[in-house]
A and B are shown apart, each in its own frame.
Chain A
Amino acid sequence: MYATRTRRARPEPFDLRPGVAERLGLPYMDLGLIVAAVGLLAFSVFVLAEATRGDVPGDPNYFFERQAIYGALGIVGMLALTRIDYSRFRELRVGIYTFMCVSISLVFVFGVAARGSRRAFDLPFFSFQPSELGKLLLILALAGFVIDGARRGSERQRTARYLLLGFAPAALVFLQPDLGTSLVFGVATLAVIYVAGVRWTHFATIMATIVASIAIVLVVAPALGTPVLKGYQEERLTSFLAPSEDPADAGYQQNQAKIAIGSGQKTGRGDQATQTRLDFVPERHTDFIFAVVGERYGFLGAAFVLSLYALLIWRALRIVTLSKNLYGTLVAGGIAAMLMFQVFVNVGMNLGIMPITGVPLPLMSYGGSSVIATLLAVGVLESIHMQARLSQKSRSAW
């Protein structure tokens, strides 16, 4: 009889089976970005739970619960996006662009009006605001157009074409009317073509034109009797220059926000935060949530929030430089600029140094569309990061 050699199972020197972390792609993710995004979201839920308890009669946790649900949905969407190679969006650019424009246009037909503006569809679970998701969709589509339009036309024609592609949906949003979001569209467009390497002379011309248009819209046109902006829009844009005592004025709201933040001092007033608790600051769960943070948690809390945003944007800019392809660079640049613009405009508005434009604070302001769209944008950033890491890995392995 042959002695049979029994094969003893020996442990592999390297475990080749992918673990849960590997399946989720965690080793290839930018953890700083995730920490910043989830941290902000968690803080938002916490602030809403503390500051808006009892705001909605009969449902003390209304805002808190909903924001938590939106956040959870958004995180799921974000993780799902990281598993997709973002480069697929480049191929879908025409479809994405069309979907974006159509969904924004449909708001004019089926949208629900709130405070004089049609921005959202009323869905069974929440009201969906296409322009929030549209910011991300525009960046994804426009970056694709920029890359594929490369050999068509002169450089000047290309610049004009990209601007037109970006500003057309911005104009649609402006007509809803939603001045703040349309500005975000414009900034995202500019950021994409800026990162794409538009000539400095073109860029300077565009900026000069924008400055001139602002001057015309705010100063020249009203003087000639043909105002472009609605009265309340113009008032909101200019009122931060002149605080007012009238509760109906935009300047009053901003002044109250300023008082709220200032009264928070170094460590905040906690439950003594009368400015935001007694309705002196309007829209405290959305546009003026930073004032709530400032009053309740003081300089410590507000600076903490700002540092999370700094982390978020720093990681986004880093991803711009890491991307495995130009498409990823453009998309990451657009998203980074979009986030930066929203943070600066919203916080600046709370601090009384920027006009009131109705731009939500990403991940902090209450609102499903905004929270989910921002988390999806973070997911796209993670996807770019992950693809870059994977391609590095495969290249080094090869």
Chain B
Amino acid sequence: MYLRTDDRRPPLSTGLALRVAIIGGVTLALFAVLLFRLWYLQVLSGDRYLAEANDNRTREVRVAAPRGEILDRSGKVLVRNRVSLALQVDPQKLPRRAADRQGLLSRIGNLAGIPPRRLRRTLHEEVVVSPTSPATLIQDVPSDLFYYVRENQDRFPGVDAGRVFVRRYPNGTLGAHLFGNVNEISDQQLKEPRYRNLEPGDLIGQDGIEYSYDRYLRGQAGVTRVQVDSFGRPKGELSVSEPKPGDNLRLTIDSRLQAAGEGALAAQALPGAFVAMDTSSGAILAMGSSPTYDPADLINPTQAEVDAIYRDPVAAPIYNRAISGLYPTGSTFKPITSIAALASGVVTPFTTIIDDGAFTLGGITFQNAGGASYGALTMQPALQVSSDVFYYTLGNELDKLGPGAHGTMLQRWARRLGIGHETGIDLPGEQPGLLPTPAWRNQLYRKDLTDRPWSGGDAVNLAVGQGDLQANPLQMAVAYSTIANGGTVVRPHVGGIVEDAAGRVVREIEPGAARELPIEPQWRQTILDGLHDAAQSPGGTSYSVFGGFKVPVAGKTGTAERPPYADQSWYVVLAPYPDPEIVVAATFEQGGFGVDAAAPAAATILSEYYNAAINAPGTGGIVE
């Protein structure tokens, strides 16, 4: 019932008192709620909220460190930096609504004169790769646009105008396959231990030397902590730590030799590769692969460049064939077979084998190339003329010794010399190749992946570098240098010296020997003599190329059948004979006879080596 309605002063009725008391009680309860909530936020959780507030107001602006330069062995710059003005986007700070994002991209596109559709695609691709890290939207923007975006930050939410360092290659395509490329770290890579302390958006080497020596080259980004308001506008610096530039890396590469080698590859106009290496230290003096590409194209490739460099399955320019090529080696394998036969006692340097032009095993006849027959041969002349029958016989004899833990004696020695597994070079992407063994083939046969088990024919083929064998020029260079230096299996490397920005040596890269092999001086001598005769004695397989060469060398041709393609052309040469310091291995796909394509290329490289060496003061030991 409503209270009395004659409007006089009511004595405080019990009904009204109750109602006011209820209001009072509710009020008290609500105030209690507010006070407890206040207590909870400020006293109990205050620390956490204070941390959040501090986190809110500070932004860490990472200042990229310039990457170290890459130099050749004499200090010539191969890879340096240039500063590029870039617009970067932070996907997480972009407008949430699709229409707003669209508008933002069209604004930028209109200002930069780039179709918004292309920006959208770039953004999409970058975001797919790593959804949380800042992505470069446009590189090399004009400076007026750069400053416009920087000064109107609130109109371009999520877009950051910053200076980035971009790699520059002053020598064009020279050494393209060595360097690899630099790109933003991916979310996957951020989790790897080797990229501890890096943050999204940091640049790291993704391939090649840039990858292998990334921890020296990348330096350390500086961090500027700034106070910002809720729009992200800077309101003053809190602390600054300067970026620490990356160390420079001096390679073992000799850029003149490199240029000569790449010229020799280009002269043949065939896919191929070469390696020039110091036989005692494993220092790579030059290494090239053809077809090549401009490393600058990898910085911001257009679709056409991506298609041409990465996606062409035949030319495959991105592959460094010197370390990832998979080719049968042909007769260049014969010194390896020689070592295996001598070491297992199948023959001595003086054992004579009659080469009547053909070798028959199990009803199958193997013939010399060109149907030639050379009569009675010891190892040295067999190498000189490259008698297949002589090596078929050795392969068969070695096979008859029976399989050991790593195949027969032939496979065991080939493996020890570096065939069939990685050499351990300081470049990513090295392929192990394939050294066929009875166990390997028999297992394939059991799984029905091949038509027949291991047979004597496989051993005979392997002895001359045919059949299932797959190797690359670097492996051959390592095997030959092992023979030449008397048994030290080197670990090849392109990294030489790490120097800081002031030129002080930070680290010398000397990977040391992979292993030592017991190679008798007599075996070494026999093989080197045979190879020397092959290159520089009349009747030798590459006499036509090296007969008149100014330095005594020891070299071996190889012509490998590689159906369905034309023959693979090989040449491996050691110089100077009889105490080699350099090995050059070259190969060409479909190059035909070793002496036709590969040997001239190797000769070009060697003659550049000796030109430089003769011109350099204080270098002796050259026989004119």
Chain A residues near B52 (CB, 8 Å)? Answer: 259, 262-263
Mark A307-338 against chain B: 1 for CB-CB distance below 8 A, else 0: 00110011001001101111101000100110
Question: B228 on the interface (CB 8 Å rule)?
Answer: yes
- A-B contacts, 23 listed (Cβ < 8 Å): A150-B5, A151-B5, A194-B23, A195-B16, A197-B15, A259-B49, A259-B52, A262-B41, A262-B50, A263-B54, A265-B50, A274-B56, A274-B227, A278-B230, A302-B38, A303-B35, A306-B34, A320-B23, A321-B12, A325-B10, A329-B16, A340-B23, A352-B37
Q: Is the interface of A mostly helix, strand, loop or mixed?
A: helix
Given contacts A246-B96, A306-B34, contact A280 B1 (CB under 8 A): no
Please, how many angstroms separate the alpha-carbon atoms of A354 and B417 in the complex? 78
**Residues of A that sit less than 8 Å from B by CB:** 87, 90, 146-147, 150-151, 155, 158, 191, 194-199, 246-248, 256, 258-266, 269, 274-275, 278-280, 294-295, 298-299, 302-303, 306, 309-310, 313-314, 317, 320-321, 323-327, 329, 333, 336-337, 340, 344, 347-348, 351-353, 388, 391
Contact of B42 among A195, A294, A333 (CB under 8 A): A294
B-to-A contact residues, CB < 8 Å: 1-5, 7-10, 12, 15-17, 19-20, 23-24, 26-27, 30-31, 33-35, 37-39, 41-43, 45-50, 52-54, 56-57, 96, 227-231, 235
Pick the contact of A294 from B2, B26, B38, B50 — CB < 8 Å? B38
Find out whether the CB atom of B48 lies under 8 angstroms from the CB atom of A262.
Answer: yes
Q: Which residues of A contact B227 (CB under 8 A)?
A: 274, 278
Does A259 contact B23, Cβ atoms closer than 8 Å?
Answer: no
Which of chain A's residues have a CB closer than 8 A to the CB of B37?
348, 351-353
Chief secondary structure at chain B's binding surface: helix
- With A248-B96, A325-B10, A353-B33 known to touch, is A280 a contact of B49 (CB < 8 Å)? no
Give chain A residues whose Cβ lies under 8 Å from the Cβ of B41: 258, 261-262, 294, 351-352
- Other CB < 8 Å A-B pairs besides A87-B7, A269-B50, 8 of them? A158-B2, A262-B41, A265-B42, A266-B43, A274-B54, A279-B231, A303-B38, A320-B20
Bound CA span A91–B9, Å: 17
Q: Are B3 and A197 closer than 8 Å at their CB atoms?
A: yes
Residues of B within 8 A of A314 (CB): 24, 27
Whether A337 lies near B23 (C-beta < 8 A) is yes
User: B34 to A278, Cβ gap below 8 A?
Assistant: no
> Which of B24, B27, B38, B229 is A351 in contact with, Cβ under 8 Å?
B38
Closest chain-B Cβ to A285's Cβ sits at a distance in Å of 15
Q: Is the CB of A197 within 8 A of B19?
A: yes
Given the known interface contacts A197-B19, A280-B230, A329-B10, the answer about A263 and B2 at a Cβ–Cβ threshold of 8 Å is no
A347 to B5, CA, bound (A): 37
**Bound Cα distance A259, B228 (Å):** 16
Assembled-state Cα–Cα distance A197/B22 (Å): 13
Q: Are B34 and A323 in contact, with the CB atoms below 8 A?
A: no
Name which residue of chain B comes closest to A395, CB basis: B9
Which residues of B sit under 8 angstroms from A191, Cβ to Cβ?
23
Smallest CB–CB gap between A261 and chain B, Å?
A: 5
Whether the pair A155, B1 counts as a contact (CB closer than 8 A) is: yes
Which single residue of chain A is at the shortest CB-CB distance from B50? A263
| Cα(A126)–Cα(B11), bound, Å | 44
Nearest chain B CB to A137 CB, angstrom units: 20
Q: Are A325 and B7 in contact (CB under 8 A)?
A: yes
Query: B residues within 8 A CB of A302?
Result: 38, 42
Smallest CB gap from B97: residue in A = A248
B53 and A275: CB pair below 8 A? yes
A198 touches which one: B2, B7, B12, B24 (CB < 8 A)? B2
Question: CB within 8 A of A197: which of B1, B43, B50, B53?
Answer: B1
Q: Tell me the minimal C-beta distance from B48 to chain A in angstroms.
A: 7
Q: Which residues of chain B are near A265, meaning CB under 8 Å? A: 42-43, 46-47, 50
Contacting B19 at CB < 8 Å: which of A195, A247, A294, A303?
Answer: A195
Instruction: Specify which chain B residues have a CB less than 8 angstroms from the CB of A347 in the assembled complex.
Output: 34
Contacts of A247 in B (CB 8 A): 230
Q: How far apart sit A151 and B37, CA to CA, in the bound complex (Å)?
A: 46
Counting from the closest, the 6 A-B pairs by CB-CB distance are A262-B49, A150-B5, A265-B46, A263-B53, A278-B229, A324-B9
B42 contact set on A, CB distance < 8 A: 261-262, 264-266, 294, 298-299, 302
